[in-house]
Amino acid sequence: MVNQERLITNFIKMIKVDSLSGQEEAFRDLLQSEFALLGLAAQEDDAGKILKGGSGNLLVKIPGTVARPALLFAAHMDTVIPGTNIEVIRDQNEVIRSAGDTILGSDDKAGVAAIFEALQVILENGLDHPPLELLFTVSEEQGLLGIKNFDFSKLAAEYGYVLDSGGAPGTIVIQSPCQNEIEYRVQGKSAHAGINPEDGINAIQIMARALAKMPCGRIDDETTCNFGIIKGGLARNIVPESCRVKGEARSLKRTKLDELTIALLDIFKTEVLKNGGNPEVETVLLYPETALQPDEEVVRLAVRAADKIGIKSELLSTGGGSDASIINGHNIRCANLGIGMNAVHTTDEFIRIEDLVNDARLVLSIIEEAARS
């Protein structure tokens, strides 16, 4: 019952509305107007004000026609750079991509479009459905900031789905990591690099020596860490008095994350002090781990729904976080669903029309199955 051409038209319309992280207001306006045409209100929260962005999160609540538990679907509104003035191409191989100088934005507008199409099918056909809660978040790409500033007391759902994973429709992410953001800072002493360098303490060199002793990359099959940003110094002829590195550590197991973080900090502090610098470290838990069991209803429902429409389901673990990480942390059992987006965050990003249609078909099938369960 999914209307393929309508879905494609709406998806392309969404793609053409710029919505970089923190600048989602035009896309918010589009969604509010589209839901209004269906007689529904998309309520905006205060996340935009808190984050000093252009829009807050949007929540749409639809009363159920059957007495079943409420069901949550979520996707994020923001996109990464380069993501403005996107030119959409639908090629002869039934693939949708950008012209090649920007991202496409299927991450995550394919998820938004699929949820919207499934809702349209339900309403126009008068299909039974449980109470539905549709959540569209902002600044997901900046560290899940929108969902972190959402008031979960507004939700009644005890389980739900985020449409924001790689993999074909039918992919169900049941395990994802917890992550620490770690900022390492070295304080040294400035001096003229040519006249009296011996009076300085080179913070960049000390940072380099510390990083060389610290683990980086793949630690084991469940754990990784990385150093991603380094800043320091004022000029080439000044001994740098400070240096800062932003990194991360993540693991599917909280105990492993804690152990790795302690090891990183201990090595860093020891090496910095040994080389004459002053170490400072700041650690922030960005999101908790997710561990769903295959026999949980949120997983079984998605598997049954996929089977019903002839889509092969696959339960996977991932090394990335998503809004589902925060939702699970608020005691709503939530699986992240694969939506067929490919080469995301690059100018080669694309999505197959078949996958886009199956995204909507799967959302619809989950809702129908939930109404019957």
Residues acting as catalytic residues: 78, 140
Peptide bond into 82 cis (omega under 30): yes
Which tokens belong to 226? 């990385």
SS3 assignment, position 72: strand
Residue 91, preceding peptide bond in cis (omega within 30° of 0): no
Give residue for tokens 């392309």: 12
Q: How many CB atoms lie within 10 A of CB 137?
A: 31
At residue 30, φ and ψ (nearest 5 deg) are -60, -50
Alpha carbons 133 and 96: distance in angstroms, whole number: 29
What is the separation, in whole angstroms, between the first and last Cα of the chain?
21
Extract the tokens encoding 13: 């319309």
Q: Are 101 and 347 in contact (CB under 8 A)?
A: yes
Q: Is 12 helix (H, G, I), strand (E, B) or coil?
A: helix
Please say whether the beta carbons of 79 and 336 come within 8 A: no
Beta-strand pair 71-76/290-291: unpaired
What is the CB neighbour count within 10 angstroms for residue 126? 8
